[in-house]
Chains A and B, each alone.
Chain A
Amino acid sequence: MRDLRLDFFRGIALAFIFLNHIPGNIASKLSTRDYGFSDATEIFVYISGYTAVIAYGSVMRRSGLLVAGARILHRVWQLYVAHIFLFVVFTAQIAYVATRFDNPLFSEEMNVARFMNEPHVNLIQALLLKFKPSNMDVLPLYIALLFGFLPILFLLTRAPRLTLGISVVLYVLAIRFRWNLPGYPEGESWVFNPFCWQLMFVLGAWAGLRRDVMQRLAPYGRPLLILSIAYLLFALFVATSWRVAWLEGMVPPFLERWMYPISKPNMDILRLAHFFALAYLAVRLVGPESRMLQNPVAQAFIQSGRHSLQVFCMGVFLSFTGHFILVEINGSNSSQIVVSLGGLLLMWSVAVVLDWYKLASERRSAAQAVGVPERAAGVSRDA
């Protein structure tokens, strides 16, 4: 049974990532980032875990472990190629910016950037997944998670609670012992620590396997709703205190000492909880058959979410272009809105073209009955 909400929320996450990727974009206020502790990354990773288990779980059941493994690796390769593409785009952008004038006030910034701007070195480091073009780039994390997915999938189908337990323990140990993968330059590590973020991925996969999480939670519906809303309001209050000076003093010191800093690399527990509060609320408000999903804007998000990799790459590419426009041509608020809207429309058009292409090629091979059940499943074939 297809759950359109997966693609819907993933499409929204992709929109947020695009908007947040453009520095100083007023439209980024539309994302959840400023109103709590979690952002589009959590949404993206959770849903990816969920769809991965659906996509590759069915392959595993039908064709066995080896074939599932091959499909996963094939997908990892696609993601890897996309990562290198984004690196190339980033290098072009950096090279361009280095030629622009920077006031002498920023001579240190220019020097450090120039020192780091060695394309031949950076390329090798990017190939090794150590150099990340952008600090908001979730692709290397996704590559790492999917690369290690086969054993997770296997274990989840056999012993779900054990798998979840191992995942939680890994998360806790990684924070305690500062485990992470090496980054570049030397001494740095991954912006999204896979040892910590795997928990979000596994939770998504676990939920995707069960498919009945909401039913199981139904008896506790009332208290969960109240708890979620309360936590979301608390997070909203704290996040707003970062921006509004007179609220700052209202956050009790003991709370500040305990909460801060809220770690994004290690997926701080506050972020995890915030995401689940948000997700619970969203899933309660938008049922699987909800009418909200029928309107054209929702349909556009669903369509974009179906082709998440291509839309993501387009989004990152367009965020560079958008930034260029804002800096070179016009950086006003109205310009930011135009660039944001234009970018979102272009991202959606990628999904439209891909759907059209898929439909056209399906019509041509309509005689073959083998592929039909997969396509009828409605979820994209790869996670």
Chain B
Amino acid sequence: MSLVLGLAVAVAGAASAREVDSVCKTADELMMSPVTLKHVKMARAQGKPVRILVIGSGSTAGAGVSRPDRAYPARLESWLRDEWGQANAVVTTSAKAGQTAEQMSPQLGSLLKESRPTLMIWQTGTVDALRSVDLDDFGTALVQGIRLAMAAGTDVILMNPQFGSNVLRLRSIQPYLDYLYQVARAEDAMLFARYAIMQEWVESGRLNLAKTAKAEQDRIADQAHDCLGQLLARMIATHAQ
């Protein structure tokens, strides 16, 4: 099925892409960014494959999903392949639960050298907010990581924490969200506003976080990750034109 779709899109030519599933839809503003993904754009223009490195903590490792290939990085790869062609999108993931930005920062250098990605998606801030990591240290780690990636010829997308956790409500998460936003703006990186996106889903009732049967919980988690993958794919494709 995806092969047929891939061919169809390739035949149809460039940018016109299909709509995001209605259950995943989010406000247009949350999908907007003044940043253009220059390296992704160049790779697309030259017909080269886009290599994406996703670095993150628990949610990137697939917390809550029923199978590893249902986590959002795998779904991102699947959606991009549908859109750009099987060989044109490769996603590698490096994720470990419980890591702060400062802990992920030293690994960036070697990861970037190993996979030479066109785009790096850095999901962080969750553990930092929970542990009340020093805000300025958090900011510095972000800035250093972004600059390292950009110097290596890699576009950067920052992804902020998930919305909906009861324990996270008790910690003051806003300063970390603010820093992710502000550092992204200052360093010309893109921000994927997962927190706001999920908040809208929860408040509109589309994402049900209440206690239900295990099978239903699996389905909900899988759908949430799939939607995030879709939205990411959409945002990448739109800002690489």
Contact = CB atoms under 8 A, between A and B. Distances in A.
B159 to A, nearest CB: 14
B132 A105 contact: no
B181 A242 contact: yes
B167 interface: yes
B222 to A, nearest CB: 10
Contacts of A323: 169
Given A102-B166, A188-B134, A189-B134, A108 B63 contact: yes
B158 to A, nearest CB: 12
Contacts of A261: 135, 139, 178-179, 182-183, 186
A185 B131 contact: yes
B8 interface: no
Interface residues of A, number: 53
Interface centre among B130, B164, B166 (most CB of A within 10 A): B166
A245 B19 CA distance: 21
A103 interface: yes
A180 B134 contact: yes
A132 to B, nearest CB: 7
B227 interface: no
Contacts of A248: 32, 34, 185
B130 A116 contact: yes
Given A136-B172, A245-B29, A260 B165 contact: no
Nearest to B57: A108
A265 B170 CA distance: 19
Contact of A106 (B164, B171, B175): B164
Contacts of B32: 245-246, 248
B156 to A, nearest CB: 15
A261 B183 CA distance: 6
B171 to A, nearest CB: 7
B33 to A, nearest CB: 8
A223 B162 CA distance: 46
B139 A109 contact: no
Interface stretch (A92-100, A211-219, A294-302, A352-360): A92-100
Interface in A230-251: 242, 244-246, 248-249, 251
A135 B58 contact: no
A109 B224 contact: no
A106 B139 contact: no
A132 B171 CA distance: 11
A97 B182 contact: no
B127 interface: yes
Contacts of A97: 166-167, 169-170
A330 B181 CA distance: 31
A23 interface: yes
Interface string B9-44: 000000000000000000011101010000000000
B168 A263 contact: no
Interface in A1-57: 23-24
Nearest to B212: A103
B114 interface: no
Interface in B110-168: 126-127, 130-136, 139, 162, 164-168
B175 A264 contact: yes
B130 A104 contact: no
Contacts of A108: 57-59, 61, 63, 97-98, 126-127
Interface string B166-196: 1111111001001101110111100000000
15 contacts: A97-B166, A103-B217, A104-B63, A104-B221, A106-B162, A106-B167, A106-B168, A107-B97, A108-B127, A112-B131, A113-B167, A242-B178, A244-B29, A251-B185, A262-B178
Given A108-B57, A265-B136, 8 more contacts: A97-B170, A108-B97, A135-B175, A183-B132, A188-B131, A261-B139, A261-B186, A264-B135
Closest 10 CB pairs of A and B: A108-B58, A135-B172, A260-B182, A245-B29, A105-B64, A106-B165, A104-B64, A113-B167, A260-B186, A109-B165
